[in-house]
Amino acid sequence: MNIVHKELAAGRWAQMSFPEQMANIGSEVSRALNWQKKGNEAYMKKAVYRALELIDLSLKSAKTYPRLKEVARVREALVDFFFFENEFSSTEKLWRKYFDAFAIVSRNSRI
């Protein structure tokens, strides 16, 4: 798989705060949810793959075990939701609510 976020992979990602990382992942997940709703599976998959790339960058840069565990679980649940049987019973609303919280924290920390 080609790296889409080359600048972030080069080290900028590790300099971001955890809420900033999760908010950026949430942007890609939101795009995937929007494409899924529109029935465009190809674009949905591309957005999910971009989100997974960012998640993998977060896993590599995780500084504490709880963060590592949370990000790994998010990855597992996202893959299950978009590509498998949704054993975790995730919903679009749940994903939006989860990632929106990080976007709000990230935005408020910049003010």
Q: What is the pTM of this model?
A: 0.90
Residue tagged 């971001």 (tokens)? 16
Interval 21-63: pLDDT, tens: 999 999 999 999 999 999 999 999 999 999 999 999 999 988 8
Interval 82-109: pLDDT, tens: 999 999 999 999 999 999 999 999 888 7
Residue 85 CB-density burial (10 A; 0-12 exposed, 13-18 middle, 19+ buried): exposed
The pLDDT confidence band at residue 69, using thresholds 50, 70 and 90, is very high
Which of residues 42 and 9 earns the better pLDDT score?
Answer: 42
